């Protein structure tokens, strides 16, 4: 991720959105400006949000340069959680929002997400148009845009959260927050304090290189250890860009995304807030979740891994709640993407004054996850299709039918086969998982031997 790439992407995005793609050529998303000659110039307004990585300021400057070089106005909101972008882009009718973040990844990584004026991420067709435009040369712009600081962005974001949870009174609650040295390090403590909570904060001193480093939702043990003295009622750990959250009770026990969604779904169903009484989750969701939802007469739709698939399913079915085991929870009653801070408040809302340690929304089944490495993707495909692997998967699935499950899938990014088994006991989970992993390993070895012999 280079400054040159960011600049080129920004120029192309403004050119495409300004040309009318993705609903971006809206009059209310364009700034009318009368210059000294009395000519009415109209410029697209683009919001830029970033996390705390050391490369963030460089990429922010490059994006702003690209936006203004293409004739748009860049509004710099500074460090804010990713979910602030879709909320602010709709509230202020911006043509586009840019988020510079690599979410839960290490500090050396970075990425760029684009949100349309609707608040949704750009569709595939618009992204393809932008990629095509990046391959074309850019000439000098007829008009050059402006760069402005958007100082009100944090307050505007907090105001939307406070309006949604205006009835949530946290006075007397002692809450520990792990901000992952990331995008929530300022706004999360402020939000909980305004709702009345007594707040202590961990990992709120970003250096540019310590984001997600041994802290946050991807290193939940850090918060769990801090909770063990039981000085706090509940703890929440966010990831680097603030779109995920995991919770820890006063005893140091972790509640993952599955448990939080089950808790929230049950509350929303009782309150009549669960649209069509359904939730969308991914194939990684614990089997215990499905059992709990069946008992509560809540429908469940299962998608591929990834928040975009959960969102697509929610929109297709007209449901409002869904998410992932990782703590990425979407509530369309508030926002169009996962929001860790909102999800934490949804959890407290669902608890209704009860202690998280008393949660009973679902019973998690023991789970075993094993990654089986392969030399290449073709070996992955052939091994999964082999009789040996299929027989082991079928045998495990039949053994656990109605009591657990076996899930085997290729990694989407690496030459790996991911094996997940859930069963009523840990010993049975381990036993079934081992049998499947052994069969797949042998199948991979056979593939490698066959290739070597030819």
Query: How much is the pLDDT for 39?
Result: 43
Query: How much is the pLDDT for 54?
Result: 98
Query: How much is the pLDDT for 41?
Result: 52
Gyration radius of the chain over CA positions: 24
Query: How much is the pLDDT for 34?
Result: 46
Reduced to 3 states, what is the DSSP secondary structure of residue 85? helix
Q: Exposed e or buried b for every residue in 58-78, given b needs 16+ CB within 10 A?
A: bbbbbbbbbbbbbbbbbbbbb
Of residues 21, 55, 101, 103, which has the active-site annotation?
A: 103
Query: Does residue 352 sit in the same domain as residue 371?
Result: no
Chain-centroid distance, C-alpha 390: 33
Query: Does residue 429 sit in the same domain as residue 291?
Result: no
Chain-centroid distance, C-alpha 326: 8
- 68: which 2 tokens? 């203004």
Q: Could you tell me if residue 378 is inside a domain?
A: yes
Residue 269 reports pLDDT greater than 50:
yes
CA separation for the pair 446, 287 (Å, rounded) = 32
What is the average per-residue pLDDT within 135-153?
90
Query: Does residue 129 sit in the same domain as residue 269?
Result: no
CATH number of domain containing 426: 3.30.310.50
Do residues 285 and 305 touch, judged by C-beta distance below 8 A? no
Q: Could you tell me if residue 160 is inside a domain?
A: no
pLDDT for 357-384, tens place per residue?
Answer: 999 999 999 999 999 999 999 999 999 9
> Among residues 358, 380, 415, which one ends one of the domains?
358
- Residue 84 CB-density burial (10 A; 0-12 exposed, 13-18 middle, 19+ buried): buried
- Number of domains into which the chain is organized: 3
Do residues 112 and 59 touch, judged by C-beta distance below 8 A? yes
Q: Could you tell me if residue 249 is inside a domain?
A: yes
Q: Could you tell me if residue 298 is inside a domain?
A: yes
Query: Does residue 343 sit in the same domain as residue 283?
Result: yes
CA separation for the pair 341, 83 (Å, rounded) = 9
Reduced to 3 states, what is the DSSP secondary structure of residue 137? coil
Q: Could you tell me if residue 75 is inside a domain?
A: yes
- 415: which 2 tokens? 């030459």
Closest C-alpha to 326, from 388, 283, 363: 283
CA distances from 212 to 204, 279, 323 (A): 11, 29, 21
CATH number of domain containing 193: 3.40.120.10
Q: Could you tell me if residue 159 is inside a domain?
A: no
Q: Is 103 a catalytic residue?
A: yes
Query: How much is the pLDDT for 26?
Result: 39
> Among residues 304, 334, 358, which one ends one of the domains?
358
CA separation for the pair 339, 126 (Å, rounded) = 25
pLDDT interval class at 141 (50, 70, 90):
confident
DSSP at 20:
T
Query: How much is the pLDDT for 328?
Result: 97
Query: Does residue 172 sit in the same domain as residue 269?
Result: yes
Do residues 247 and 345 touch, judged by C-beta distance below 8 A? no
272 Rama sector, left if φ>0, alpha if ψ -120 to 50, beta otherwise: left
Query: Does residue 439 sit in the same domain as residue 329?
Result: no
> Among residues 327, 358, 389, which one ends one of the domains?
358
**% the chain with pLDDT above 70:** 95
State pTM to two decimals.
Answer: 0.89
Query: Does residue 188 sit in the same domain as residue 244?
Result: yes
Query: Does residue 213 sit in the same domain as residue 279?
Result: yes
Query: Does residue 394 sit in the same domain as residue 372?
Result: yes
pLDDT for 37-63, tens place per residue?
Answer: 444 456 899 999 999 999 999 999 999
Residue 22 reports pLDDT greater than 70:
no
Q: Could you tell me if residue 156 is inside a domain?
A: no
Query: How much is the pLDDT for 447?
Result: 85
Do residues 75 and 94 touch, judged by C-beta distance below 8 A? yes
Residue range of the domain that includes 398: 367-453
pLDDT for 227-250, tens place per residue?
Answer: 987 789 999 999 999 999 999 999
Query: Does residue 333 sit in the same domain as residue 353?
Result: yes
- Residue 32 CB-density burial (10 A; 0-12 exposed, 13-18 middle, 19+ buried): exposed
Query: Does residue 87 sit in the same domain as residue 210?
Result: no
Query: Does residue 337 sit in the same domain as residue 235?
Result: yes
Q: Could you tell me if residue 214 is inside a domain?
A: yes
């Amino acid at each position: 991720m280079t400054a040159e790439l960011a600049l080129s992407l920004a120029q192309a995005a403004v050119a495409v959105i300004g040309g009318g793609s993705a609903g971006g050529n809206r009059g209310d998303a364009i700034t009318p400006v009368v210059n000294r000659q009395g000519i009415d110039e109209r410029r697209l307004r683009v919001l830029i949000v970033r996390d705390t990585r050391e490369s963030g300021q460089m990429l922010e400057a490059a994006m702003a340069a690209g936006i203004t070089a293409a004739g748009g106005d860049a509004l710099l909101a500074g460090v804010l959680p990713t979910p602030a972008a879709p909320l602010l882009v709709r509230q202020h009718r911006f043509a586009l929002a840019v988020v510079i973040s690599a979410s839960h990844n290490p500090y050396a990584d970075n990425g760029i997400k684009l949100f349309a004026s609707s608040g949704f991420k750009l569709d595939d067709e618009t992204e393809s148009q932008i990629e095509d435009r990046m391959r074309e040369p850019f000439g000098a712009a007829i008009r050059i845009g402006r760069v402005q600081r958007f100082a009100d962005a944090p307050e505007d974001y907090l105001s939307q959260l406070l309006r949604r949870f205006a009835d949530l009174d946290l006075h007397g609650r002692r809450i520990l927050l792990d901000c992952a040295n990331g995008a929530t390090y300022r706004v999360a403590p402020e939000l909980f304090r305004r709702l009345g909570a007594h707040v202590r904060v961990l990992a709120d001193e970003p250096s540019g290189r310590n984001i997600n480093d041994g802290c946050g939702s991807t290193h939940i043990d850090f918060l769990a250890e801090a909770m063990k003295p039981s000085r706090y009622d509940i703890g929440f750990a966010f990831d680097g860009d603030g779109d995920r959250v995991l919770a820890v009770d006063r005893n140091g026990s972790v509640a993952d995304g599955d448990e939080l969604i089950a808790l929230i779904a049950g509350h929303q169903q009782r309150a009549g807030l669960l649209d069509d009484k359904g939730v969308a989750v991914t194939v990684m969701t614990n089997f215990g979740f499905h059992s709990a939802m069946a008992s509560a007469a809540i429908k469940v739709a299962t998608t591929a891994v990834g928040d975009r698939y959960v969102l697509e399913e929610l929109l297709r079915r007209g449901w409002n709640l869904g998410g992932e085991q990782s703590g990425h929870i979407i509530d369309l009653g508030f926002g169009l993407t996962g929001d860790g801070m909102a999800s934490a408040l949804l959890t407290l809302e669902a608890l209704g004054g009860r202690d998280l340690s008393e949660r009973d929304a679902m019973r998690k089944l023991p789970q075993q996850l094993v990654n089986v490495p392969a030399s290449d993707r073709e070996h992955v495909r052939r091994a999964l299709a082999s009789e040996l692997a299929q027989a082991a998967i079928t045998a495990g699935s039949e053994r656990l039918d109605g009591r657990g499950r076996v899930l085997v899938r290729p990694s989407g990014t690496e030459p790996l086969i991911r094996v997940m088994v859930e069963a009523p006991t840990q010993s049975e989970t381990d036993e079934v998982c081992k049998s499947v992993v052994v069969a797949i390993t042998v199948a991979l070895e056979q593939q490698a031997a066959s290739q070597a012999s030819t």
